[in-house]
Structure 1
Amino acid sequence: MAAAGVSLGATVLCLLAWAGLAAADRVYIHPFHLLVYSKSSCEQLEKSSAETPKALTFTPVPIQAKTSPVDEEALREQLALATEKLQEDDRMRAAKVGMMLNFLGFHMYRMLSESCSTASGTVLSPTTLFGTLASLYLGALDPTASRLQAFLGVPGEDQGCTSRLDGHKVLSALHTIQGLLVAQGGAGGQSTLLLSTVLGLFTAPGLRLKQPFVRGLAPFAPVTLPRSLDLSTDPDLAAEKINRFMQAVTGWKMDRPVSGVSPDSTLLFNTYVHFQGKLKGFSLLPGLQDFWVDNATSVSVPMISGTGTFQHWSDAQNNLSLTRVPLSKNACLLLVQPHGASDLQQVEALTFQHNFLTWLKNLSPRAIRLTMPQLTLRASYDLQDLLAQAKLPTLLGAEANLGKISEDNLRVGKVLNSILLELKADEGEQPTESAPQPDGPLEVTLSRPFLFAIYEQDSTALHFLGRVANPLSTV
């Protein structure tokens, strides 16, 4: 844990400095008071633990059991409705969680990008990653709970109840963040975004899960699917069954499905997220266009193009340009274009580790004709691998205490995050009208490797960070 403490030390200090601004008077306010247990909640917890019998448990049904396909339109409507009656505390809580997941997301993106070459793509969802870890925190007991809390960005100061993260509040804030992303635009406006999160809890036969834990996951993953199957006899067959099951339930094609299941695992914790965004006023160009993977190699890809007034900034000192395109009322797509093909690695380090939020302040409106690839990106990564790179290989290992998930012999195997991200043209509504320009709109064409981020403005939460090295390749 010490190594992680060093690597995330600056994160914690920044979080404390920012949140500490709330304590303007001399009365101490816990910097995360909206996310930790209140004194009354602690008293209630102490009382209920003395009076309440063991939590109800259940055994997941076999994986062959039929399940209705995911209704993504219904999920979007539920998310959007969740934002209609937000209180000020809800928005403040979402902003704090947004900041926490951004810090963790940048940190883990660096781990992920360092594990692959710049010639390959990278996509990470900080919101999904944070939600997965917060879900496991909901099921953890000390010392695992304390270690997870610190890794999420909240020091447990005196180990007292009022310094402990309330996992339900954190997942509720994530629900708000997800809802803000897909919120309808304007009076009667319709969002063009889809965001669907599905959680698969795959257990060894006979392992019993605690009902309060599974019910508590609903704010983050409204579709949670506990299923049992033999993970030990034939791990490859188990992986194949999981892949077929998730394909049938979601209809999403994941190019890197589950593989390499450890035979001694008793629980696989797999989060699947689908995002679909449409760029208003953009149209699909006829035929295929060249995208230069490097100076000597190109691939033919579908491209989309649109003209409007977008936020833009060109930084000659750091050899990059930024263009921000609205996706919905609250959601934005930020495109980061290195000026030279050889600048990608340097620009990636600057953008996603140091200056991202600062650079947003430099953007100004500009009439632009933007051309970029139509994207269908698929990615999958095991959080266990990222934790090992972060010097925390045992955080969710064999000794992890996850007693709120199950009282049985629980051994967590893979903790998978799988992403399907789509960006395409929406030829209906036009973007903001461009002001007349003497020389016409600025031409911005992303025909070489570039970076992107999708974020929500109210909470500033980053939903996706990525590198597009080849629009046709699997991440």
Structure 2
Amino acid sequence: IQEQVPWSEMAPAGIALRATVLCLVAWVGLAAGDRVYIHPFHLLVYTKSSCEQLEKSNAETLKEPTFTPIPIQANTAQVDEEALRHQLVLTVEKLEAEDKQRATMVGMLANFLGFRMYKALSDMWNTAGGAGGAGGTGVLSPTTLFGTLASFYLGAMDPTAHRLQALLGVPGEDEDCTSRLDGHKVLSALQAIQGLLVAQGRADGQARLLLSTVVGLFTDPSLRLKQTFIQSLDLFTPIVLPRSVDLSSDPDLAAAEIDRFMQAVTGQKISSVVGVQADSTLLFNTYVHFQGKVKGFFLLAEHQEFWVDNSTSVSVPMLSGTGIFQHWNDTQNNFSVTRVPLGESACLLLVQPHYASDLDKVEALAFQHDFSSWMKNLSPRAIHLTMPQLLLQGSHNLQDLLAQAKLPTLLGTKATLGKISDTNLRVGKVMNSILFELKADDGDQPTESAQQPDGPEVLELTLSSPFLFAVYERDSSAIHFLGRVANPLSMV
């Protein structure tokens, strides 16, 4: 990643990239056995035949049709989230074996980048004294973040395209076209990853998981966008909404108009754009909504205490359920891990420090590149689990995360984004906005006698102090959400 910073500051990025390559080489080695060596990224880069078409399209870039987005005041229908879920399910039904391999590879790359950016976000929370509560409450979506940056890669030309490719985890030192990342394959794989999460939500056909993604591109009226770029984003989500808004005259008014627009489209009360820069001509907002229902769990009749710290508690709604869950208690590092199924392949991972004061320490240990290594220690255990019902809303500017990761100019004023627009493009904030909901199942509350299964002694486990969580899908190995809960009542 050729950022103009000292090597000492680049080292973490280089180490992360090398770790990604080594993991993928190992993965390919396991898959290939004694067969002829295959480059670990061959599923994501251009083929020789596609390179010819790419060269032709690059030559015609300046001739591509452009358009001015319609005003933000124009009426727009609210998103049908159930229809989006159905589209994702249909996508999964059409996947071939190679598509699933590509999804696994992109899932691994998104995980590596997600861990790195979560660390940057966590550092920002800690520097600011916590987000939304003591110690900070927040959530990040590695797949959404990866998709946003891959979208910019589709609109980029060298040298920005080369640097974005390196950030996404695919080395591109070779000038040959066949070493270049194919952004369309990446976004298609991300769509497959989203589909795998929701398609296997429940064997009885009732959707227990909901995942919807909306992309809003807000441009100054003077900016014209290229149609090919907008059409390419359909691979990431079918809901791509380019809209024009006056970003320069009154930035505060522009921010309010964008918020009203996104609330009308999503049907959710969100606030994501604050402090619009007067000199920007493009804002990019990716909004994702996740709703999960934990099968067999019910909402307790009365609120329970959640201890934010040793002396402060809040009264919160709690979920409770009993089952055989994968569990591991790490006595050496003072935390426990519990895996709760959300579907056939989707899982909720709960990481609870033994001591609330160890949250940051456990977070640094748990959310790192060898995330999956200690998960091998999980074993089945009968558990009666009680945890907060979650309603978390978070928004973060990827420009801030890039700056925290020593890449402050990647999407700055000198970025070459000629495939997005021919005009004077200046990227302002690049927002990822998340609404994360975890609720009880719709079933009736079980009787007291039905809560305790026969067999081994049931472990009583209550998450009544700060904890960490992750939502991941096992078929693709993709982590969809990483988060910390220091105060369940916080709206980040």
Q: What's the TM-score bracket when you normalise by the shorter of the two chains? A: over 0.9
Equivalence for 1:356: 371
| Cα drift, residue 219 of structure 1 | 1.9
**Superposed, which structure 2 residues align to 1:449-468 within 5 Å?**
449-468=466-485
Equivalence for 1:372: 387
2:225 matches 1:220:
no
CA–CA distance in 2 between the matches of 1:20 and 1:130?
Answer: 21
3-state SS of paired residue (1:82): helix
Determine which of 138, 141, 166 is the counterpart of 1:125. Answer: 141
Cα contact 2:294–2:439 (8 A) shared by 1: yes
**Superposed, which structure 2 residues align to 1:47-196 within 5 Å?**
47-49=56-58, 54-117=63-126, 119-185=135-201, 189-196=205-212
Q: Which amino acid aligns with 1:74?
A: A
TM-score of the superposed pair, with normalisation by structure 1: 0.95
Cα contact 1:281–1:429 (8 A) shared by 2: no
Equivalence for 2:20: 15
Equivalence for 2:323: 308
2:239 matches 1:245:
no
Equivalence for 1:412: 427
Equivalence for 1:448: 465
| Cα drift, residue 345 of structure 1 | 1.2
| Cα drift, residue 57 of structure 1 | 1.1
| Cα drift, residue 85 of structure 1 | 2.4
CA–CA distance in 2 between the matches of 1:414 and 1:186?
Answer: 37
3-state SS of paired residue (1:34): coil
Cα contact 1:183–1:330 (8 A) shared by 2: no
Q: Which amino acid aligns with 1:371?
A: T
Which range is displaced more, 296-305 or 213-222? Answer: 213-222
**Superposed, which structure 2 residues align to 1:432-443 within 5 Å?**
436-439=454-457, 441-443=458-460
Cα contact 1:284–1:304 (8 A) shared by 2: yes
| Cα drift, residue 174 of structure 1 | 0.2
Cα contact 1:191–1:329 (8 A) shared by 2: no
2:476 matches 1:471:
no
Which range is displaced more, 48-57 or 367-376? Answer: 48-57
Q: Which amino acid aligns with 1:98?
A: G
Q: Which amino acid aligns with 2:13?
A: L
| Cα drift, residue 329 of structure 1 | 1.8
CA–CA distance in 2 between the matches of 1:465 and 1:102?
Answer: 10
Summarize the Cα distance change of 1:435–1:241 in structure 2 as closer, same or farther, 3 Å threshold.
Answer: same
Cα contact 1:184–1:190 (8 A) shared by 2: no
Summarize the Cα distance change of 1:316–1:277 in structure 2 as closer, same or farther, 3 Å threshold.
Answer: same
Summarize the Cα distance change of 1:79–1:434 in structure 2 as closer, same or farther, 3 Å threshold.
Answer: farther
CA–CA distance in 2 between the matches of 1:157 and 1:393?
Answer: 22
Taking only aligned residues, the RMSD between alpha carbons, in angstroms, comes to 2.0
Summarize the Cα distance change of 1:78–1:434 in structure 2 as closer, same or farther, 3 Å threshold.
Answer: farther
**Superposed, which structure 2 residues align to 1:415-434 within 5 Å?**
415-428=430-443
CA–CA distance in 1 between the matches of 2:278 and 2:102?
Answer: 40
Cα contact 1:367–1:434 (8 A) shared by 2: no
- Once the two structures are superposed, residues 109-133 of structure 1 have per-residue CA deviations (whole angstroms, 9 ceiling, x without a partner) of 0110011136211211101110000
Summarize the Cα distance change of 1:186–1:286 in structure 2 as closer, same or farther, 3 Å threshold.
Answer: closer
Q: Which amino acid aligns with 2:44?
A: L
| Cα drift, residue 64 of structure 1 | 0.4
| Cα drift, residue 5 of structure 1 | 4.5
Equivalence for 1:340: 355
Equivalence for 2:276: 261
Q: Which amino acid aligns with 1:422?
A: E
Which range is displaced more, 299-308 or 48-57? Answer: 48-57
- Once the two structures are superposed, residues 402-436 of structure 1 have per-residue CA deviations (whole angstroms, 9 ceiling, x without a partner) of 00000010000000001100001004299999863
CA–CA distance in 2 between the matches of 1:48 and 1:137?
Answer: 15
| Cα drift, residue 44 of structure 1 | 2.3
Instruction: Give structure 1 stretches of 5+ with no counterpart.
Output: none
| Cα drift, residue 355 of structure 1 | 4.4
| Cα drift, residue 30 of structure 1 | 2.5
| Cα drift, residue 20 of structure 1 | 2.6
CA–CA distance in 2 between the matches of 1:168 and 1:419?
Answer: 24
Cα contact 2:339–2:349 (8 A) shared by 1: yes
Which range is displaced more, 427-436 or 48-57? Answer: 427-436
2:394 matches 1:385:
no
- Once the two structures are superposed, residues 75-99 of structure 1 have per-residue CA deviations (whole angstroms, 9 ceiling, x without a partner) of 0010111111211110110111111
Cα contact 2:393–2:436 (8 A) shared by 1: yes
- Once the two structures are superposed, residues 262-283 of structure 1 have per-residue CA deviations (whole angstroms, 9 ceiling, x without a partner) of 0000000011110000001111
CA–CA distance in 2 between the matches of 1:354 and 1:29?
Answer: 24
Cα contact 2:201–2:342 (8 A) shared by 1: no
Summarize the Cα distance change of 1:210–1:50 in structure 2 as closer, same or farther, 3 Å threshold.
Answer: closer
CA–CA distance in 1 between the matches of 2:261 and 2:304?
Answer: 36
Kindly, what percent of the aligned residue pairs are identical? 69
Equivalence for 1:297: 312
CA–CA distance in 2 between the matches of 1:335 and 1:426?
Answer: 18
CA–CA distance in 1 between the matches of 2:200 and 2:471?
Answer: 17
CA–CA distance in 1 between the matches of 2:44 and 2:415?
Answer: 23
| Cα drift, residue 158 of structure 1 | 1.0
Q: Which amino acid aligns with 1:8?
A: A
Cα contact 1:271–1:417 (8 A) shared by 2: yes
CA–CA distance in 1 between the matches of 2:421 and 2:62?
Answer: 15
3-state SS of paired residue (1:473): coil
Determine which of 26, 32, 42 is the counterpart of 2:41. Answer: 32
2:214 matches 1:209:
no
| Cα drift, residue 231 of structure 1 | 0.3
Cα contact 1:280–1:429 (8 A) shared by 2: no
Equivalence for 1:320: 335
3-state SS of paired residue (1:116): helix
CA–CA distance in 2 between the matches of 1:249 and 1:312?
Answer: 40
Kindly tell me the number of residue pairs found equivalent between the two proteins. 473
| Cα drift, residue 49 of structure 1 | 4.6
Summarize the Cα distance change of 1:355–1:187 in structure 2 as closer, same or farther, 3 Å threshold.
Answer: closer
- Once the two structures are superposed, residues 191-244 of structure 1 have per-residue CA deviations (whole angstroms, 9 ceiling, x without a partner) of 311101001100000311111100100121221110001000100000000001
Cα contact 2:115–2:369 (8 A) shared by 1: no
Equivalence for 2:11: 6
| Cα drift, residue 12 of structure 1 | 2.1
Cα contact 1:280–1:430 (8 A) shared by 2: no
